[in-house]
Structure 1
Amino acid sequence: MVDIILEVTGSLFAAIIFFTTLQGLRHHSVREQSGTNLVIAGFGLLFFGMLIDITDNFPELNYLVFIGDTEAQAFLEKVVGMLLGLLLLTLGFWRWIPSIKALESTRKSLDQLNAQLDQRVQQRTQELEIANRQLNDEISERCKMEEQLQYRVTHDPLTDLPNRYAMNEILEQQVSYCHSQNVSSAVMLLDLDDFKKINDHLGHEVGDRVLHQATNRLREAIPDGGSLGRFGGDEFIVTLPEIKNPEDVKLIADLLLKQFRLPFVLLERDFLITVSIGIATYPRNGVNPQELVRHADSALHRAKIDGRNIYRLFTDDMNKVLARRLALEEQMHGALERDEFSVNYQPVIDLNRQCVASAEALLRWNNPILGAVAPDEFIPVAERTGLIVPIGQFVLKTALQKTIAWRERSHGSFHIAVNISPLQFRDHKLASFLTRILEQTGLPGSSLELELTEGVLMDSSEVADDTLRVLHKLSIGLSMDDFGTGYSSLSYLRRYPFKTLKIDRSFISEIASNQGDRELVSATISMAHRMGLKVVAEGVETEEQLAFLRLERCDLIQGYYYSKPVVADDFDRYLDCWSEPLVASEKAIV
C-alpha cells in the first residue's frame, strides 16, 4: 500500500513538473533555451514510467498504457523509459547550465545595478534634500528681501517713518473708517521753519540729525491711534483717525508746537527750530485723502505767511487763495511766450550830482484772464515753479538792451539794477548767461548792478560762490537789497564785495514822525559810508523824507517822490526832463 502511495505521489510530482514546464514554454525566453525540449521529453518519460509502475498494481488500468506481455517486458519498458527520461533530463539540465550561469551572472549584474541605482537614488535624494533646503532658504531670504523692499518702498530711510505712499494708504483707510463709523478725523501737515538754513550753513549731515530729533519729538506728542509720517524734505504729516471734540485738534497742535520750544543741540550749540502746522478735518474740509492733504497744505501755507511757529485750521477763504494760486500757476505757463511780461523802470536820483544815476528794472505781468497781477503775488509763484529763471533772463536781456541808449545819453555813467532771486542765483548757467549778454550788447559789466537779498546769500552754495567770482571778474556791481529786514545783513556786507546798500522802504516811510526809524536810518547811512558803500533810500514819497535824507548825506533816492516805475518810452521822456535843471516836482511823472 505504501508503495502505491509513493508511486502515485511521484507520478503526481512528475506530472506537476511536466505541466509547469509546459506552462513555461509559453514564455519566449524559456522556449529559446537549448535544453528545454530534452527536459520536457525527460519528464514525459519519467511520468510514463511511473504510470506503468502504477498500472502494475492496478490491472484494470492496463488499458491506459501499452505494456509488454510479460513482466520482464513491462519492467524493461519501465526501466528503459525512466532511465531514458533521467538521461534526457540530465542532458537538458546540462544544456541549461550555461543559461543558468548567464542568468546568475545577469542576476548579479542586476543586483549590482540595483545597488548602484539605490546608491544613486540615495545620493540624488540627499542632493534633492540639500537643494530643497537651499531653495527653502532662498525662498525665505527672498521673502525677507521682499519684505525689506516693501518696507523701503513704504518708509523713509532717514527717519524710519511711513513715507508719502504709505501715508496715503493710511489716509484711505482712515477716511473709509470715518465714513463707516460717522466720526470726524484730522490731517496735519508740519513744516520745519527755516530748515534750509541748517542744511546750507551746517551741512546735510547736521540737517539729518535735526530731522531725527524732530521725529522723536513729534512721536512723543502723537496720541494713541495717530500716525506720523514724513512727506519729504522737512515736511511731516500727522493723521488723527477719530476726533470726538474739535477742540482736541487744537490741543494736539499746541502740544506739537510745544515740542519745539526747547532748542536743538547741534555741534555743541543751541539752535531754536520752530514748526508751522496746517490742519484739515474730515468731513468738513474734505471727503478724500487728496482733498484733505491739499487743504492742509493751504492751511500750512497760511501759517507760514502769518509768521510761522503757529498752526492754522483750513477755512473756506483759503479755498479762494488756493484757487487763485492754481490759476496763477496755470496762466504763468506760457506767459513768457505769449509776451505777457514787460519791464518797467524806476529812476534812481543822485542827490549830489542832481541827475538820474540809474534805474531799477521791475517786472510786470498783464494776463488777459487775470488782468494785471502784482509782483508780490506772482513772483513767489514763479520761484516755486522754477519759471523765475527764464523770466529773470528775459528781464536781464530786456533791461540791458534798453541800457545801451541810456548810457550813451549819460556819457557812460548810467547803470541798470536788476533783482536776482535765490533760485536764479543758484542756477549754474547764470554766470555764462551774463557773460554772453554783455558781449552781445557791448556793455561793460559796470553797467549792471544785481540786487541781492539776504535770502539769496543764505542759499549760497559752491555754484553761488563760483557765480560771485565771475561777477567780480566782470565788474558787475552788487547791491544789498532790503537792508535791515533780515538777521545777518551786516555779516554779509563784510563777507561779499557789495558796492551799494539799499535801505528798505519800511524804515523810510515813517522817518518824518518816528524817532527810532530816523536814528536807525542815520546809523545805517553812517555805517555804510565808513565801509565805502553808497546808500540808496527806497520808497521816498514826501518832501520831509527827502529833506531828512539829504541832511544825513544819503547818496541816492528812489521813490514816488521823483517817479513811479514807468515803461521804457516814458523813461526816455523822463530823462529828457533832466537835460535841464528843473526842480524835482517838475520832473516827476504821475
Structure 2
Amino acid sequence: MSGSPPVRRDPTTGFHLRNAGPSVVARLFAAADRVAASLCAMWLDLDRFRQVNDSFGYAEADAVIALIAGRIRSVAGERATFLRMGSDEFAILLPAVETPDGERIAGRLLATIDQPIPLAGILLRPSVSIGITWRLAADDPLSLLARADRAMGEAKRQGGDRFVVMAVEPPGVASAARSARQDLEIESVLHASLATGDLELHYQPIVRPDGSVEAVEALMRCAVGGRQVSPLQLVAVAEKTGLIVRIGEWILLQGARCAARLRAQGCPTKVAINISRLQLCSESFLSNLHAALICARLPADAIELELTESLFVDASPVVQANLRGAREAGVGLAIDDFGTGYSSLANLKDLPATKLKFDRAFINELPEDRRAFAILSAITRLAGELGMVVVAEGVETAAQLAACEAARVDATQGFLHAKPMSEDALSQWMETRKSR
C-alpha cells in the first residue's frame, strides 16, 4: 500500500525542513480537528547569530545550532513538532496548548537558550526572539506560520530576547501578511521548479562602443500564479531558505550550456553569472563550476562570475580558495555594483577581478552630474591600467550612453541596447547583429 513520501529532515537539527511546513501543519490541523483541540505555533529567531557565522565559520555555527536545537527540543517536549525555517530560525507546533501554558513554554525557551555556550575559548551568550500565535478558524497552514513569523518580527523590533503574543491579526497588518504569504508561495514554487526544471534564464547583452557583444548576463526568472516575480524578491527568498545554492548550481550549468550553443551558432560570447555568498562559501563550489564547464564542453574563459566587492575581500579561507581556483582555471571575475557599499580604491588594487561593473544608481546621474562623470572617467582609466574591463550598468538613454563613451568605458548594459530576453530571442538578436 502506498502512502505519503517520507518528510526529509534537516541533518543539523533533526527538525523538519522548511519546505515541509505546509504539509506538516496541515496534518496537525487535521489531528486537532479530530479532538477539537487548539494548536499553538511559535517562531524563533536567534538574535545576532550572523556574528557567529562571520566570526567562527559555518562548521562552528552549525555546532551551535545543533546544541540550541537540542535545548529547544528539551523544553518543548515530545508532543511538539519542530521545523527549521532558516539558518537560525525555527518553528514549533504545540497541540492542545492554551495561552498560559504557551507563554510559560516561551519563557522557559528564553531562559534555556540564553545559557552560555563555550566556543573557541570564549563564552557565547545566545538569545532569541519568539513569536507566539494560535490557530484561528479561518487559518490555513501558511497563514498560521506567517502570523507567528510576524509576532517574532515584533519581538525583534522591541529589542530581542523576548516573546510577543499575536493571538489575532492586529489592524494594519494585511499588507505584511500578504508579503509573508507571498514569500512562502515563492519558496514553494522554487522548490517545485527545481524539481521540474521550470526555472528560466533570461539574458541581457553587454555591448561595446563598436556594437559588438562583450558578454551576456544570465538573469533568473520565475512566475508565481502566472505573475513574474521581482528578481530581487526571488533572490531574497532563495538566500533566506538556502535554496540559492541549488539554484546557483542550476544557473551555472544552464548558463554554460547557453554559451556553448551560442558558440556553435557562430556567436561566441561570454555568459556572466551572478554568484551568491552562500555559493562561494561552499567547499563544492569549484567542483560544481568545473562540472558545468565539462558538461557543456566549454572553455573556462567563456564563463564570467559576477560578485559583489564584499565577497572579494571576504576573509574566509574557503571563499579565497574558490576565487583563486576560478581564476586559475581561466574563469573571469567581475566586481558587480561598483560605486556603492564596500567599493574602495584600497581594495581595488588587490582584487583578482577581470571586470568592474559600475552600478546603475551611479549611471543614473549622467550626463548632468559632472562629478559623477569625472569619477567614472578616472576609475575607467585606473581600472584599465589594472587590466580590468569597465562596464556601465543601467544605461537607458542615448545621453547616458554618450557620457559613458566619452568617459571611455569599455562596454555598456541596459534597456537602451536590449531588455533581458529568452535564449531563443537572444539567438535571434545576435544573428541580427551579425548581419550588420
TM-score w.r.t. structure 1 length? 0.48
Provide the C-alpha distance between the structure 1 equivalents of 2:157 and 2:432, rounded to a whole number of angstroms: 46
* 1:41-72 superposed Cα distances (whole Å, 9 cap, x missing partner): xxxxxxxxxxxxxxxxxxxxxxxxxxxxxxxx
Give identity over the alignment, percent. 32
User: Secondary structure of the residue that 1:336 maps to in structure 2?
Assistant: helix
Aligned to 2:236, which of 380, 390, 395?
380
Does residue 340 (structure 1) correspond to residue 195 (structure 2)? The answer is no
Give 5+ residue unaligned stretches, structure 1. 1-186, 209-231, 236-276, 284-288, 304-312, 582-590
**Alignment match, 2:223:** 366
Does residue 572 (structure 1) correspond to residue 430 (structure 2)? The answer is no
Provide the C-alpha distance between the structure 2 equivalents of 1:344 and 1:490, rounded to a whole number of angstroms: 33
* 1:354-399 superposed Cα distances (whole Å, 9 cap, x missing partner): 30121001110123x3631111111111112121122112211112
Does residue 390 (structure 1) correspond to residue 246 (structure 2)? The answer is yes
**Alignment match, 1:15:** none
Does residue 437 (structure 1) correspond to residue 287 (structure 2)? The answer is no
TM-score w.r.t. structure 2 length? 0.63
Residue 429 to residue 190, structure 1, CA distance change in 2 (3 Å): closer
Question: Is the contact between residue 299 and residue 318 of structure 1 (CA under 8 Å) also seen in structure 2?
Answer: no
Deviation at 1:484, TM superposition (A): 1.8
Provide the C-alpha distance between the structure 2 equivalents of 1:545 and 1:535, rounded to a whole number of angstroms: 15
Residue 329 to residue 188, structure 1, CA distance change in 2 (3 Å): closer
Instruction: Figure out how many residues of one structure are paired with residues of the other and give that number.
Output: 328
Deviation at 1:558, TM superposition (A): 0.5
**Alignment match, 2:111:** none
**Alignment match, 2:188:** 330
Does residue 539 (structure 1) correspond to residue 397 (structure 2)? The answer is no
Deviation at 1:468, TM superposition (A): 1.9
User: Secondary structure of the residue that 1:318 maps to in structure 2?
Assistant: helix
**Alignment match, 1:12:** none
User: Secondary structure of the residue that 2:184 maps to in structure 1?
Assistant: helix
* 1:120-139 superposed Cα distances (whole Å, 9 cap, x missing partner): xxxxxxxxxxxxxxxxxxxx
Does residue 357 (structure 1) correspond to residue 214 (structure 2)? The answer is yes
Provide the C-alpha distance between the structure 2 equivalents of 1:479 and 1:356, rounded to a whole number of angstroms: 16
Provide the C-alpha distance between the structure 1 equivalents of 2:237 and 2:381, rounded to a whole number of angstroms: 37
Provide the C-alpha distance between the structure 1 equivalents of 2:213 and 2:306, rounded to a whole number of angstroms: 18
Question: Is the contact between residue 328 and residue 381 of structure 1 (CA under 8 Å) also seen in structure 2?
Answer: yes
Residue 190 to residue 300, structure 1, CA distance change in 2 (3 Å): farther
Matching residue's letter, 1:406: L
Matching residue's letter, 2:360: R
**Alignment match, 1:467:** 322
Matching residue's letter, 1:529: G
Provide the C-alpha distance between the structure 1 equivalents of 2:382 and 2:50, rounded to a whole number of angstroms: 29
Matching residue's letter, 2:236: P
Question: Is the contact between residue 482 and residue 502 of structure 1 (CA under 8 Å) also seen in structure 2?
Answer: yes
* 1:143-200 superposed Cα distances (whole Å, 9 cap, x missing partner): xxxxxxxxxxxxxxxxxxxxxxxxxxxxxxxxxxxxxxxxxxxx99784497368516
Question: Is the contact between residue 333 and residue 355 of structure 2 (CA under 8 Å) also seen in structure 1?
Answer: yes
**Alignment match, 2:178:** 320
Provide the C-alpha distance between the structure 2 equivalents of 1:527 and 1:544, rounded to a whole number of angstroms: 24
Residue 204 to residue 190, structure 1, CA distance change in 2 (3 Å): closer
Stretches (4+) displaced over 6 A: 187-190, 232-235, 277-283, 289-292, 300-303
Residue 416 to residue 292, structure 1, CA distance change in 2 (3 Å): closer
Matching residue's letter, 1:323: R
User: Secondary structure of the residue that 1:388 maps to in structure 2?
Assistant: helix
Residue 460 to residue 290, structure 1, CA distance change in 2 (3 Å): same
Equivalent residues in 2 for 1:32-431 (5 A)?
A: 191-192=47-48, 195=51, 199=55, 294-299=149-154, 316=173, 317-351=175-209, 353-367=210-224, 369=225, 371-409=227-265, 412=268, 414-431=269-286
* 1:499-527 superposed Cα distances (whole Å, 9 cap, x missing partner): 00000011111212333432332332232
Provide the C-alpha distance between the structure 2 equivalents of 1:395 and 1:319, rounded to a whole number of angstroms: 31
Provide the C-alpha distance between the structure 1 equivalents of 2:317 and 2:150, rounded to a whole number of angstroms: 37
Bigger relative CO (Cα 8 Å, ≥ 6 apart) = 2
Question: Is the contact between residue 430 and residue 467 of structure 1 (CA under 8 Å) also seen in structure 2?
Answer: yes
Residue 375 to residue 476, structure 1, CA distance change in 2 (3 Å): same
Residue 191 to residue 500, structure 1, CA distance change in 2 (3 Å): same
Residue 410 to residue 535, structure 1, CA distance change in 2 (3 Å): farther
* 1:406-443 superposed Cα distances (whole Å, 9 cap, x missing partner): 2345575x211000111111122121122122123221
Residue 478 to residue 302, structure 1, CA distance change in 2 (3 Å): farther
User: Secondary structure of the residue that 1:557 maps to in structure 2?
Assistant: strand
* 1:216-249 superposed Cα distances (whole Å, 9 cap, x missing partner): xxxxxxxxxxxxxxxx9999xxxxxxxxxxxxxx
Residue 395 to residue 460, structure 1, CA distance change in 2 (3 Å): farther
Provide the C-alpha distance between the structure 2 equivalents of 1:301 and 1:547, rounded to a whole number of angstroms: 48
User: Secondary structure of the residue that 2:349 maps to in structure 1?
Assistant: helix
User: Secondary structure of the residue that 2:435 maps to in structure 1?
Assistant: coil
Q: Which has more helix, going by share of residues?
A: 1
Question: Is the contact between residue 278 and residue 296 of structure 1 (CA under 8 Å) also seen in structure 2?
Answer: no
Residue 546 to residue 200, structure 1, CA distance change in 2 (3 Å): farther
Question: Is the contact between residue 133 and residue 148 of structure 2 (CA under 8 Å) also seen in structure 1?
Answer: no
Give 5+ residue unaligned stretches, structure 2. 1-42, 65-85, 90-127, 135-143, 159-165
Deviation at 1:293, TM superposition (A): 5.4
Residue 381 to residue 290, structure 1, CA distance change in 2 (3 Å): closer
**Alignment match, 2:117:** none
Deviation at 1:343, TM superposition (A): 0.6
Does residue 501 (structure 1) correspond to residue 362 (structure 2)? The answer is no
Provide the C-alpha distance between the structure 2 equivalents of 1:539 and 1:343, rounded to a whole number of angstroms: 19
Deviation at 1:291, TM superposition (A): 8.2
Question: Is the contact between residue 188 and residue 296 of structure 1 (CA under 8 Å) also seen in structure 2?
Answer: no
Residue 580 to residue 371, structure 1, CA distance change in 2 (3 Å): same
Question: Is the contact between residue 286 and residue 326 of structure 2 (CA under 8 Å) also seen in structure 1?
Answer: yes
Provide the C-alpha distance between the structure 1 equivalents of 2:145 and 2:87, rounded to a whole number of angstroms: 19
Q: Which has more strand, going by share of residues?
A: 2
Provide the C-alpha distance between the structure 2 equivalents of 1:302 and 1:568, rounded to a whole number of angstroms: 44
Question: Is the contact between residue 540 and residue 546 of structure 1 (CA under 8 Å) also seen in structure 2?
Answer: yes
Does residue 511 (structure 1) correspond to residue 366 (structure 2)? The answer is yes
Matching residue's letter, 1:375: P
